[in-house]
Chain A
Amino acid sequence: MRRAAGILPFCAGLAALLPAAVVAQAAPAWTTDPARSRLEFSGTLAGGRFDGRFARFAPEIAFDPADLAGSRFRVEIDTASADTQEAERDAMLKGPDFFAVERWPAARFEATRFVPTGPGRFEARGRLTLRDLTRDIALPFAFEAAADGRTATLSGGTTVRRLAFGVGQGEWRDTKWLGDEVEVRFDLRLHRK
């Protein structure tokens, strides 16, 4: 009995802590509709632009504009799904000089810091890992939730310097023909979990 009495305050304390733990994870989790979501990139070749996309990527999104502290992005990108609509270039992108998909099959973006930049606009401060290199990047995006709060769109993009991630080894370090800057864009359709 004395023993149980000792445990009671401990349980009460635990119960008091519980809401705090829930608050830290409070931003709602969203699932992504893959058929209506896109992750695209544009590079420059010989002074001209070309576009590509990643066909497979898995975003884990917990986001609430009212709870940026509890929000979190974690996106895994299947680098072997890079698609520029041309077999030779796709093979080169997946090869050892670029994404080296056999060694590093996934790229990853993770962000836990979010800064509001305007109405419905934010910037995620996170880390992008491509190949074996991880760099800080800032990702501006817009978040727009439907009136019922069940669906939302999350879209944005940034410019990534490929050479900062070792994408383009050997002769491809030269930026005369293949530009360093790669524009990355995404447009996600989200459903509340």
Chain B
Amino acid sequence: MQWRNSLHGYGAVAKFLHWAIVVLIIAQYLIIEAAEELPDGLEKFAIVTRHKSVGMLVLGLALVRIAWKLVNSRHPAPVPMPQTQRIAAAAGHGLLYLLLLAQPISGWLMSSAANYPVTFFGLFQFPALVGADPGAHEFYEEVHEALFATLATVAVLHALAAFYHHFRLRDDTLRRMLPFVGPRRR
């Protein structure tokens, strides 16, 4: 296993960032859905606060991931596919990166507008992005939810495309991003 990407597969850093973000986003959804069921109180507050810290972690990981992608110019050679599919894949990946940034930022805006501090697990505080404004808070809340619906939809399509490559086309598209799995022996 190597840290950097190679022509045959993604390196450990790219795989770790991909899967850490997947796990954290699924956890984020489950956490906040559970919090919605709770009455207003300390427990709900504590859970929502954790959700914000984890969201900032996702934002940080997404930024590292994009930076890593930019400095790590070597990418696995694309699997041969029709140009329309290649364009669709590139557009989907671009949209996913955009959503990985927009999703936490919309949550950060939501907290700022509600005059709630955003911290990183209580260690330090992020600056408020906008001033307190109850109307804007409602707006950012809707944006945050709409972005999640979009992110979930695009992520499911992304996974279905990976399964299509793996099970129907029987190529290395999925394997090269799986942890602890090398490329198929040829």
Known A85-B134, A86-B132; judge A92-B115 contact (CB<8 A). no
Contact check, B40 vs A88: say whether CB atoms are below 8 A apart. Answer: yes
Number of B interface residues at 8 Å Cβ cutoff, please give it: 22
> Chain A interface: which of B41-49, B62-70, B97-105, B162-170?
B41-49
Residue positions of A touching B, CB distance < 8 A: 44-52, 84-89, 92, 171-172, 174, 177
Main secondary structure of the interface of B (DSSP, over half): loop
Residues of A within 8 A of B123 (CB): 47
B115 interface neighbour in A46, A84, A172, A174, Cβ under 8 Å: A84
**A84 CB to nearest B CB, Å:** 6
Residues of B within 8 A of A44 (CB): 117
Query: Which residue of B is nearest A48, CB measured?
Result: B117
Per the bound structure, the CA–CA distance linking A52 and B49 in Å amounts to: 19
Per the bound structure, the CA–CA distance linking A174 and B45 in Å amounts to: 13
Query: Which residue of A is nearest B44, CB measured?
Result: A88
Residues of A within 8 A of B133 (CB): 85
Instruction: Encode B90-127 as 1/0 by CB contact (under 8 A) with A.
Output: 00000000000000000000000011111101111100
Residues of A within 8 A of B41 (CB): 171
Residues of B within 8 A of A89 (CB): 115-116
Q: Would you call B137 an interface residue if the criterion is a C-beta within 8 Å of the partner chain's C-beta atoms?
A: yes
A172 interface neighbour in B42, B132, B134, Cβ under 8 Å: B42
Contact check, B40 vs A174: say whether CB atoms are below 8 A apart. Answer: no
Which residues of B from 72 to 91 have beta carbons under 8 Å from A? none
Per the bound structure, the CA–CA distance linking A84 and B117 in Å amounts to: 12
Contact check, B119 vs A177: say whether CB atoms are below 8 A apart. Answer: no
| 21 A-B residue pairings within 8 Å (CB atoms) | A44-B117, A45-B45, A46-B49, A48-B119, A48-B122, A49-B117, A50-B117, A51-B132, A84-B115, A85-B114, A85-B115, A85-B133, A86-B114, A86-B116, A86-B132, A88-B40, A89-B115, A92-B40, A171-B41, A171-B43, A174-B42
Per the bound structure, the CA–CA distance linking A49 and B128 in Å amounts to: 10
Contact check, B134 vs A49: say whether CB atoms are below 8 A apart. Answer: no
Contact check, B134 vs A87: say whether CB atoms are below 8 A apart. Answer: yes
Residues of B within 8 A of A87 (CB): 134
**A174 CB to nearest B CB, Å:** 7
Contact check, B49 vs A51: say whether CB atoms are below 8 A apart. Answer: no
Contact check, A51 vs B115: say whether CB atoms are below 8 A apart. Answer: yes
